[in-house]
C-alpha cells in the first residue's frame, strides 16, 4: 500500500522539524518544503522569522537527517501580494494589520496547500502549537488550543476554513513545548532555538513607518493631532507612523501622558487622549470565520482576544448584520485596534474570529 503523503512546511526550527519527525514515525510519506518569500537581492535579517534566509539551509539539513526529500519553493509573489502589499495598505488606511495571519491564510494555507495537493499529498503539516480534531456529531473540523497554553498559536489561525483544516496536520500541538525540545534532542535535531519573534519578519529593524515610506509611492502627509474635543494639539508625521494605544514618539507635551485613541484616514487626523479613554467594552469585527459552525445564531458567551498577547476576556458575541459581529466585553478592554484580529474562544476551542473595524 502506498503511504499517505504529507508536505511539511519546514523552517529549520525545532517545531516544524519535530512535526516532520512525528509524522514520519506515524507512517506518512513526508516531504519537506521551505517557502522562499524574500526578494532575491534584498536579504533581510538572516535569522528573522520563520522563513529567514538560514531557514532554507537549516530545513535542508533537517530533511537530510530525517532522510526525506526537501524542496525550496518560491512564494515571493504570493507573499508580496497578500502580506506586504496588504500590510502597507492597512497602515495607509489607518489600521494596524497582522501580517502573520495574512501569511497563514493566503501563503501557507492557500499557496502551499495547493502545491501540496498538486504533488499528490493529502495534507500539509506545520509546527504550529494548535490541535485539529473532528466533531463527528456535526461533521466539522475543530481547532483547539495547544496543550501548552503559553505557546498557543491559534490566534493567528482563526480564519482557516473547513477545507483547509481537513487537509492540515499539526502534530506538535499535542505536546508540551519541553517535550518537543526533548524529542528534538533525542533524535539529534539541531535545537538552536530560533527567536520566537512576534515581530514583523520582513521588517527586521521594526521601523514600520520607514519601511512603508520606502515601499510606497503615495505621499506620506503630515496632519493634525486633535484632542477628543477637536482642538489641535500638534502635528503628526503621517498616519502610517501610528497605531492605536501608542504613547511613545508622539512629540506632544501634556500634563498627563497622551495616547493614540483613534486614527481618521479620511481627514488625516489622529485623536489623542488619556489612558482611560482607551478603555472600551464594545468592539465590531467583520471578515468573519467561524469554525464549529458556519453561522453565528443569537447571542453566545465566549472569551475573546483583541491582540496576540492579550489575555482572553469574557464577553458576549452577536451578529449585528450579515457580515458584522458585535462583541461586548464584561470588563472594558484597553486599546481596541482596528485591523487586528478579534478571536473567540470557548475554553480550549477556537470559535472563530474576524478583523476589528472599530
Point out the residues that are catalytic.
103, 201
Show contacts with other proteins in window 48-67 (CB under 8 A).
56
Shortest Å, Cβ 117 to other proteins: 6
**Nearest CA to 309 among 174, 152, 97?**
152
**Shorter beta-carbon distance to other proteins: residue 107 or 184:** 107
Q: How many residues bind other proteins (CB under 8 A)?
A: 15
Sign (positive or negative) of CA dihedral 60, 108, 218, 95 = negative
Member of 47, 110, 115, 179 binding other proteins (CB under 8 A): 115
Alpha carbons 265 and 260: distance in angstroms, whole number:
14
Sole window of 43-51, 115-123, 195-203, 275-283 interacting with other proteins (rule: CB under 8 A): 115-123
φ and ψ of 36, to 5 deg? -100, 120
Interacting residues of 23 by C-beta distance below 8 A, sequence separation 6+: 6, 8, 30, 125, 169, 171
Sign (positive or negative) of CA dihedral 178, 180, 186, 188 = negative
Cell representation of residue 53: 534566509
Shortest Å, Cβ 72 to other proteins: 5
Other CB atoms within 10 A of residue 20 CB: 30
**Shorter beta-carbon distance to other proteins: residue 107 or 288:** 107
Show contacts with other proteins in window 159-188 (CB under 8 A).
none
DSSP-based three-state secondary structure for 214: helix
Report if residue 118 touches other proteins, rule: CB under 8 A. Answer: yes
Shortest Å, Cβ 119 to other proteins: 5
Shortest Å, Cβ 40 to other proteins: 8
**Shorter beta-carbon distance to other proteins: residue 38 or 141:** 38
**Shorter beta-carbon distance to other proteins: residue 36 or 162:** 36
Sole window of 19-27, 114-122, 191-199, 201-209 interacting with other proteins (rule: CB under 8 A): 114-122
Report if residue 40 touches other proteins, rule: CB under 8 A. Answer: yes
Shortest Å, Cβ 29 to other proteins: 9
Cell representation of residue 133: 480534531
DSSP 194: P
Member of 24, 36, 148, 324 binding other proteins (CB under 8 A): 36
Member of 89, 117, 220, 357 binding other proteins (CB under 8 A): 117
Cell representation of residue 227: 484632542
**Shorter beta-carbon distance to other proteins: residue 166 or 319:** 166
Sole window of 111-119, 200-208, 257-265, 271-279 interacting with other proteins (rule: CB under 8 A): 111-119
Residue 236, CA distances (Å) to 52, 195, 218, 232, 275 in order = 34, 33, 17, 11, 19
Alpha carbons 208 and 240: distance in angstroms, whole number:
8
Member of 3, 46, 74, 163 binding other proteins (CB under 8 A): 74
Report if residue 73 touches other proteins, rule: CB under 8 A. Answer: yes
Yes or no: say if 346 and 358 are a contact pair by the CB < 8 Å rule: no
Sole window of 118-126, 218-226, 295-303, 317-325 interacting with other proteins (rule: CB under 8 A): 118-126
**Nearest CA to 159 among 295, 289, 344, 319?**
289
Yes or no: say if 260 and 94 are a contact pair by the CB < 8 Å rule: no
Residues found near other proteins in the complex (CB under 8 A):
31, 36, 40, 56, 69, 71-74, 114-115, 117-120
Amino acid at each position: 500500500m502506498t503511504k499517505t503523503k504529507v508536505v511539511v512546511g519546514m523552517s529549520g526550527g525545532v517545531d516544524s522539524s519535530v512535526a516532520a519527525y512525528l509524522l514520519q514515525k506515524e507512517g506518512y510519506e513526508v516531504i519537506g518544503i521551505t517557502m522562499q518569500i524574500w526578494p532575491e537581492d534584498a536579504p533581510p535579517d538572516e535569522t528573522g522569522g520563520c522563513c529567514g534566509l538560514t531557514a532554507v539551509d537549516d530545513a535542508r539539513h533537517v530533511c537530510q537527517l530525517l532522510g526525506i526529500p526537501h524542496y525550496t519553493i518560491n512564494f515571493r509573489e504570493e507573499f508580496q501580494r497578500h502580506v506586504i502589499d496588504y500590510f502597507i495598505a492597512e497602515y495607509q488606511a489607518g489600521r494596524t494589520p497582522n501580517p502573520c495571519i495574512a501569511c497563514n491564510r493566503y501563503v501557507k494555507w492557500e499557496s502551499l496547500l495547493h502545491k501540496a495537493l498538486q504533488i499528490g499529498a493529502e495534507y500539509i503539516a506545520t509546527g504550529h502549537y494548535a490541535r485539529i480534531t473532528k466533531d463527528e456529531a456535526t461533521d466539522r473540523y475543530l481547532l483547539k488550543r495547544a496543550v501548552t497554553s503559553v505557546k498557543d498559536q491559534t490566534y493567528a489561525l482563526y480564519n482557516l476554513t473547513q477545507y483547509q483544516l481537513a487537509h492540515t496536520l499539526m502534530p506538535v500541538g499535542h505536546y508540551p513545548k519541553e517535550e518537543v525540545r526533548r524529542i528534538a534532542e533525542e533524535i539529534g535535531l539541531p535545537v538552536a532555538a530560533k527567536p520566537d519573534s512576534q515581530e514583523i519578519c520582513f521588517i527586521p529593524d521594526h521601523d514600520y513607518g520607514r519601511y512603508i515610506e520606502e515601499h510606497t509611492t503615495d505621499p506620506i502627509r503630515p496632519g493634525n493631532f486633535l484632542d477628543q474635543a477637536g482642538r489641535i494639539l500638534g502635528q503628526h508625521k503621517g498616519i502610517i507612523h501610528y497605531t492605536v494605544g501608542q504613547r511613545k514618539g508622539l512629540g506632544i507635551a501634556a500634563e498627563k501622558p497622551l495616547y493614540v485613541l483613534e486614527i481618521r484616514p479620511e481627514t488625516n487626523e489622529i485623536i489623542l487622549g488619556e489612558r482611560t479613554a482607551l478603555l472600551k467594552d464594545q468592539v465590531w469585527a467583520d471578515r468573519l470565520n467561524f469554525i464549529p459552525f458556519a453561522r453565528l445564531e443569537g447571542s453566545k458567551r465566549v472569551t475573546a482576544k483583541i491582540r496576540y498577547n492579550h489575555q482572553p476576556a469574557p464577553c458576549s458575541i452577536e451578529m449585528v448584520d450579515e457580515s458584522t459581529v458585535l462583541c461586548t466585553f464584561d470588563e472594558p478592554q484597553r486599546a481596541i485596534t482596528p485591523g487586528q484580529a478579534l478571536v473567540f474562544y470557548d475554553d480550549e476551542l477556537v470559535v472563530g474570529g474576524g478583523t476589528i473595524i472599530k
